[in-house]
Every structure is written in C-alpha cells, then in structure tokens.
C-alpha cells in the first residue's frame, strides 16, 4: 500500500460524491455484508495539479493504519495536505 500527500494552490473544480463512491465500493466488495462491514476506506479528493508531494510505502496490515495517520499528520504539518481554499 502506498500513501501520498500533496498540496495545490486551489482545490479541484471537479466535485466527486465520495459517499456514493464509498457505497459503490463497499457493495462491490461486500455484497452480503447486511450493513455490517469491518472495512476502512480512504477516499481523498486530490488536487488537479499538486505543487508538492510526499510518499510512503506501508504494508497492508492493521498496524499501517496509525502509521498512515502519522504520515498524513506530518505531511499536513509541513503544508503538503490539508484544507485549501
């Protein structure tokens, strides 16, 4: 699993319904879940033209969740991601 963080001067002009996307992915991956899922989805909306990037590789294990959060927190502290606009 690879995590990326990026920054741009302005947010993307294209609006994506991330909630609908998440529902679609969960339905495709877990069709018989009956509303119960033990899945975490990260659906970031990336800017059209990033000015700076940071990358890290994480293993696909539960321990990577806090490591990914730490990576994003450090990237946000450095101004590589967060809310713009």
DSSP state of 82: S
| H or E segment and range at residue 55 | strand 52-57
pLDDT at 4: 54
pLDDT at 58: 93
pLDDT at 11: 44
pTM of the entire predicted model = 0.41
* Per-residue pLDDT tens digits of the chain, which is 85 residues long: 555 555 544 444 345 688 888 888 888 887 776 666 577 777 777 667 656 778 899 999 999 999 999 998 998 888 776 554 4
pLDDT at 9: 43
Sign of the alpha-carbon dihedral angle for 50, 52, 58, 63: negative
Taking Cα atoms as reference points, which of 11, 15, 18, 6 lies closest to residue 55?
Answer: 6
């Amino acid at each position: 699993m690879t995590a990326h963080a990026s920054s741009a001067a302005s947010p993307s002009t294209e609006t994506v319904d991330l909630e609908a996307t998440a529902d679609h992915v969960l339905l495709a991956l877990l069709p018989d879940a009956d509303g119960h899922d033990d899945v975490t989805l990260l659906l970031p909306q990336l800017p059209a033209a990033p000015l700076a990037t940071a990358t890290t590789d994480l293993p696909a294990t539960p321990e990577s969740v806090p490591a990914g959060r730490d990576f994003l927190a450090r990237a946000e502290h450095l101004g590589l991601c967060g809310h713009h606009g």
